[in-house]
A and B are shown apart, each in its own frame.
Chain A
Amino acid sequence: MAELTRARIDSEHFVARYAQGRLSEAELEAFEDYCVLHPDVVDQVQTDRILITGLRHAKASRPSRFSRTQVFALAASALIAVFGLATWQLRDAPSVENPFMYRAGESLPALLAQQIVEAPAISMTRGSTSTAVSVEPETKALRLEFEPARSAGASEYRVALAEEIDGHWLLRSELEHVRPENHAVPTVAVIVDLTRLSSTHLRITLAAANGEADEFNLHVVGKPAAP
C-alpha cells in the first residue's frame, strides 16, 4: 500500500476505522507506520475510542426520568413477577444440563475453576484454522481465546462448541458472547469443560448477527477418552 498522507487519513477516516477495528491488514500497517511519527494522530485514535465507548454506554445508561424510589418499586415488582413466572414455568421442566462451555470471567463450578489451564490463544487470519494443544491427562478445562477475522467487526457472537464423534460433528454447547466494550480487538474467550467431552477433536464456531462466521478446529492432545 502507498505511503499514507494526512489528507487521505482524514478523508477516508482511518482514525475511526482503526478504533473500530475495520482497517484491512495493508491499511493497518500503513496507518501504524504513520502513527509512529505522528503522536497527534494517536491522540485522535484514543479520542475516537473514548467516543465509541461513551456512545455505547450513553446508549445503555440513559438518565432516567423517574425518581429512585419509583425505579426501585418498579424493579421490585418486575422481580416478583419474573420469579413467579419462572417458578410456574419450570415446575415440570427437566433439570438444566451442566454445560460444556462457559464464558471466561463468569463464575464456574468450584471443581472446574481449580483446574483451568490457559491454552494458547488461537488467532486466525482467513477462513478456517486448525491447531493442536497438549494437555496433561488430569487437565479438566481449557481457556481458549479466539480472534475472529470474518466477523471481526461484530460486538456480539453466538459461540458454538461441537465435538467429532464417528466422523460427525455433534453440537454440545452454545452461548452468547458480548465483546468487552474497551476491546478494539474482539477477542472471544471461553472455558471448555474437557471432562464432559468424549472426543479430542473440537470445533468452535463464532457467528455474528450479520451471518459472518469463523470456525476453529482444535485437537486436544493428551486428553484421555471420557467414559
Chain B
Amino acid sequence: MDSSFQQQSTAAGERDPNAWASAGDSAWCVDIAQRIGAGDPSAEESLVARVRPGLLMLLMRRCAYDSELAADLCQDTLLVVLQRLRNRSMEDPSKLAAFAAQTARQLAFDSHRRSALRKTVVDSTIVEMAQIEAPGDDPVEQASTASLVRRLLEELSHHRDREVLRRFYLLEQGKEEICSEFGIAPGTFDQVIFRARARLRSMLQARGTSGRDLLCGFTFWVPRSWLN
C-alpha cells in the first residue's frame, strides 16, 4: 500500500474517508515516476496525456487566455517535470501533480513579469493588438452555443430548474440562497446542476465538440532528444 496513504490514517486506526480520493492519485504518481525513471516511454505518454489538460487550463487562465503562450508554457512545464522524473530527482513523486501545477504557475508568473519589465517602445503594429480585446470571441461560435443552451433550457420541464440555472450561473447567487428561496434540498439543487451539465455535454458531443476541444487547440509531444 502507498506509504503516504498510510500516513493519512487516523489515530484510531480508521482511515480518513477523504484520504481515499488522493490515495489512488498518489499511488499512480509514484508508479508513473518509477516507470519514467526506469526509461519507460509509454509511462511518459500516459503522464502527458493525463496532466496536459489540467496544466493547459491552469495556464490559459494565468495567461489571460492567450492560447499560444499557454501551449508554450505547458510544453515547458512538461519538459521540467519529465526531466525531473527521468533524473529521479523529484523529492516526493506522490506530490507530482502539485509540483507540475506549481511549476506551471511559476512559469506563467515569470512570463508575466518578463513582459511587464519589457521596455515600452513605439510600434504601430501594436495597434492591431489593441483591436483584439477578446481572442477567440467568435460570434458564430457564440450564437451556436447560445442556441444549444436555449435548447437545453427548453428541455427542462420545470420553470424552477431553469431559474436555478440562471441564478446560479448567471446571477452567481449562492447554493444556500437559491435552495432557501425555492424551498429545495441541497441534493435537489446538485441534481439540477449535474443533469444540466451532463445534458449540455451530450449535446456538445452530438455536435462534435467536446468541452476540452475548446481548451486544447494543440497537441504535442516532448521527444527525449530535446532534453539531451
Contact = CB atoms under 8 A, between A and B. Distances in A.
29 contacts: A5-B21, A11-B186, A16-B168, A29-B101, A33-B101, A35-B53, A36-B55, A36-B97, A36-B101, A38-B54, A42-B211, A43-B211, A46-B212, A46-B215, A47-B204, A57-B143, A57-B145, A57-B149, A58-B149, A62-B150, A113-B127, A117-B120, A118-B120, A118-B123, A118-B126, A134-B120, A142-B120, A143-B126, A185-B61
Contact of A133 (B50, B64, B98, B120): B120
Given A16-B169, A136-B120, A183 B115 contact: no
A152 B97 CA distance: 27
A50 B145 contact: yes
A8 B136 CA distance: 32
B21 A6 contact: yes
Interface in A1-23: 2-3, 5-8, 10-11, 13, 16, 20, 22
Interface in B137-175: 137, 142-143, 145-150, 152-153, 165-166, 168-170, 172, 175
A116 B201 contact: no
A176 interface: no
A189 interface: yes
Interface of B: 18, 21-22, 25, 28-29, 50-58, 61, 64-65, 97-98, 100-101, 105, 112, 115-124, 126-127, 129-134, 136-137, 142-143, 145-150, 152-153, 165-166, 168-170, 172, 175, 186, 190, 193, 196-197, 200-201, 204, 210-212, 214-215
Q: Give the dominant DSSP class at A's interface.
A: mixed
Contacts of B129: 118, 143
A55 B149 contact: yes
Nearest to A52: B169
Nearest to A121: B116
B53 A42 contact: yes
Contacts of B201: 43, 47
Interface of A: 2-3, 5-8, 10-11, 13, 16, 20, 22, 29, 32-39, 41-63, 103-105, 108, 113-121, 123, 133-136, 138-139, 142-143, 145, 153, 180-185, 187, 189, 191
Contacts of A62: 150
B212 A42 contact: yes
Contacts of B25: 37
A35 B54 contact: yes
Contacts, number: 217
A187 B112 CA distance: 14
Nearest to B165: A55
Contacts of A50: 145, 148-149, 200, 204, 211, 214
Contact of A11 (B115, B147, B165, B190): B190
Contacts of B120: 117-120, 133-136, 139, 142
Nearest to B148: A54
Which are the 5 A-B pairs with shortest beta-carbon distances? A54-B149, A46-B211, A57-B146, A180-B134, A105-B133
